[in-house]
Structure 1
Amino acid sequence: MLPSIGRCLSRRLRTPPAPELRAFIVRNTEPVSEHLSPEISLRLLTPRCPFWGRAAQPWPFGDPYWAIYWPGGQALSRYILDNPAVTTAKRVLDLGSGCGASAIAAVMSGATDVLANDIDPLAAVAIGINCELNKIPPLRVATENLIGKMEEKWDVILLGDMFYDEEIATDLHNWLTKYKRFHGPEILIGDPGRAEFTKYLGQDWLKKVTEYELPASTKEENYGLTSSSVWRFL
């Protein structure tokens, strides 16, 4: 099991064919809807799965962060489902998509074009499986690093649990500031209060939108955290 609430960049190992990745995901995860957005079913790593409680090293394809529904993503997905106008008829980028929950929530809430972006090829396969699980068309998925890219214009950018270390937090802040100035999208950040995110609190570019209590039944999966929030990048 992953050792902390921080997310790790996946180790770059051999990438097998998609059918092999798909079989691995199905074999080592289970469908779950007991979380903050029960409308969305996801294949996740749970205490009932073979690798639960073990170090990440035995996983053959890199750290399985895509198999955890992180608290920031849960809050973000809940907010989108409760406020569909945020993404209805909009072009949406879900950056660091992981299991794809926030991207799926955007589709369910009427987004016209959604791109799920995650640098891990295994996450891309997992997102496809989760689309099938929720009976929605396959999402467009990009595995290149889009942080710093300015060319494509998005109406909404979603970031769940992305401020997980100092380097990426700095890169994100710099890019989002530039992108907001240039394209003017709605930018929403989901985060449960990680240190690299909370150091920005009190600054004039962040406004808290809402806070949710996480389901008590998922306390173990959420590393003991009890709440998570959505913030608007101004």
Structure 2
Amino acid sequence: MYRRTILCFRGQDTLNAFQRGMCCLMRRYVSVRSEHDIKNFIRDNTEIVSAQSLTPEISLRLFTPTCRFWTERPESWPFPDPYWAIYWPGGQALARYLLNNPEVSGGRKVLDLGCGCGASAIAAKLTGASRVVANDIDPIAAVATKMNCELNNLDPLPCVTDNIIGSKPDDWDLILLGDMFYDEDLADHLHKWLQTCITTHGTQVLIGDPGRAQFEGHDIRKLLHKLSRFELPDSVKDENYGLTNSTVWCYNYKPDL
């Protein structure tokens, strides 16, 4: 299954994350070019899902067994690997935490880094964030995020497709990262950049992760405080190779004064 291939790819440290990203960006679009065509392609090859996740309040366009590319060979997919078509367990925990605790994002400027399907960004907006920006280097994820906003009766959120990790940080009140620590090199770059965000603007950083080895073994774990842990629905457990729960962590990095 193509979906299972993506799950394996995201869960293993098989290639440098930046090499993967460059390979994805270099892949040619086969027959779909305009945003209108991309939207039609997404509509035709995903299903609207709301149940069987930690956030049944949020509807998303995702891969399901009824979708063509659930069983298609990976090389038949015309875009970069569609991480946006899967609701990853770290993102589920983050979105659930925001919905349970609306004061965390209410009235704040929020960045959803590596937004994928946009669920965390949507949760932030639903709970009253004053400004939400979704970021993903995959332009198809940006289109999918806008479509998912519309599914949830929200105006499309601004989506940035530049790689902003390592750039001069904006004055975000809150940065959300779901399932971003799947590669050691990427984790190193994230760690350094997040410290810069906190040092420069006092940004709060929340991380959602189901316990991947690359996250649990990284130095960043020493600087995190557990906020909440959620047991995953049975279907999510089955799809994620037996992972049973997902945790939301708060970055406690305190710069030297």
In 1, Cα distance between equivalents of 2:61 and 2:242: 21
- 1:56 and 1:64 in contact (8 A); partners too: no
Does the aligned pair in 2 maintain the 1:187–1:232 contact within 8 Å?
yes
2:57 to 39, 46, 61: 39
Q: TM-score, normalised by structure 1?
A: 0.94
Alignment check: 8 A CA contact 2:169 2:197 kept: no
Q: Say which of 23, 30, 40 aligns to 1:23.
A: 40
- The CA distance in 2 between the partners of 1:141 and 1:221, in whole Å, is 28
**Further displaced range: 94-103 or 169-178:** 169-178
Report the Cα distance in structure 1 between the residues aligned to 2:7 and 2:65, rounded to whole angstroms: 14
**Separation of aligned partners in 1, 2:92 and 2:141:** 17
Worse-matched range after superposition: 197-206 or 98-107: 197-206
- Structure-2 change in CA distance of 1:135 and 1:183 (3 Å): same
Q: Distance in 1 between matches of 2:207 and 2:220?
A: 15
Cα deviation code 1:119-146 (max 9, x no counterpart): 1110011011101110111101100011
Contact kept? 1:5, 1:223, Cα under 8 Å = no
1:146-157 alignment runs, 5 A limit:
146-157=164-175
Normalized per residue, which structure has more helix? Answer: 2
Give the CA RMSD over aligned residues: 1.7
- Equivalents in 1 of 2:147, 2:221: separation in Å? 39
CA contact (8 A) 1:46 1:221 kept: no
User: Normalising to structure 2: TM-score of the pair?
Assistant: 0.86
Q: 1:11 aligns with which of 24, 38, 59?
A: 24
Distance change >3 Å, CA 151–CA 231, structure 1 → 2 = closer
Q: Distance in 1 between matches of 2:129 and 2:99?
A: 11
Unaligned runs of 5+ in 1: none
Code of the residue aligned with 1:11 in structure 2: it is C
Aligned length: 234
Identity %: 54
Q: Any gaps of 5 or more consecutive residues in structure 2?
A: 12-19, 253-257
Indicate the residue corresponding to 2:142 in structure 1.
124
For residues 203 and 229 of structure 1, do their structure 2 counterparts lie closer, same or farther at Cα, with a shift above 3 Å needed?
Answer: closer
Cα distance in 1 between the residues matched to 2:105 and 2:7: 34
